[in-house]
Structure 1
Amino acid sequence: MNIGERLKEERVRLGFNQADFAAFAGVAKTSQFNYEKGDRSPDAAYLAAVAEKGVDVLYVVTGERKPLSSTCMTPDASDFFAVYQLVSEADRDVLFRTAQAFAKARG
């Protein structure tokens, strides 16, 4: 998987379409398309902007996920994450979609 494919994966994971993602990153939709297609590479300002929206920039650039630190999580989040790691992949998908729905309802 290349940078563009991982960038698209992160955009989809966060629930954004290309136009919205491009807008908050400060680029045109065509630039976003070109980044995801692999025809162009995003610059540091773009990566900083998408990081503010939750993109794991380390993953986008290197293919390795940023390690989660229990010190940056509340005790409830840490407990939830511990349970999340114990369930099947299918159940993880359900938990993730449920959390996304709650987050969008709050937003």
Structure 2
Amino acid sequence: MSFGSRLKELRTSNNMTQEDLGKKINVSKVSISGYENGTRSPDRETLVCLANFFDVSLDYLVARVPEHSCLTPDDNIDLKKLLDSNLTVSYEGKVLTNSERQKIKNILIGVFW
């Protein structure tokens, strides 16, 4: 599934028009249409806005993973593996840089050792 078809699926499953979605994330209806039909690509900030708006991961939104998977309380996430991975990690909507990831790892080392 492409990014455009994933976006359209999310939009229509939320009973939204392209215009509705555009207003919610502050882009034009024409831009939403372009994203959905593959003639335009959103910038990183818009991707983050879309992922946050639909409450999905960036990987799911850009179709890197096939299904929207939800974590359960029984799931175990290794923070070191997460920070070392190529996954996009964000905090309050801000995508972490490699430098910020390293700072977090250093803080965790100080806490646990």
Please tell me the TM-score bracket, short chain as reference: 0.5 to 0.7
Q: How far does the alpha carbon of each residue in 1:15-46 deviate from its partner, in whole angstroms, 9 at most, with x for none?
A: 21100101111111100000001001112211
Q: Unaligned 5+ residue runs, structure 2?
A: 75-113
Which residue type is aligned with residue 71 of structure 2? S
Figure out how many residues of one structure are paired with residues of the other and give that number: 72
Q: Distance in 2 between matches of 1:30 and 1:70?
A: 37
TM-score normalized with structure 2 length: 0.55
Determine what percentage of the aligned residue pairs are the same residue. Answer: 32
Moved more, 45-54 or 4-13: 45-54
Q: Unaligned 5+ residue runs, structure 1?
A: 73-107
Q: Distance in 2 between matches of 1:51 and 1:23?
A: 15
> Is the alpha carbon distance of 1:4 and 1:55 closer, same or farther for their aligned partners in structure 2, counting shifts above 3 Å?
farther
Contact preservation (8 Å) 2:51, 2:61: no
State the secondary structure of the residue aligned to 1:39: coil
Q: Distance in 2 between matches of 1:37 and 1:25?
A: 18
Q: Which of 64, 70, 73 does residue 72 from structure 2 map onto?
A: 70
2:102 maps to what in 1? none
Larger RCO, structure (CA 8 Å, separation 6 or more): 1
1:53 maps to what in 2? 53
Q: Distance in 2 between matches of 1:9 and 1:48?
A: 17
Deviation (angstroms), 1:2: 1.5
TM-score normalized with structure 1 length: 0.58
1:35 maps to what in 2? 35
1:20 maps to what in 2? 20
CA root-mean-square deviation: 2.0
Asked which structure has the greater CA Rg, the reply is 2
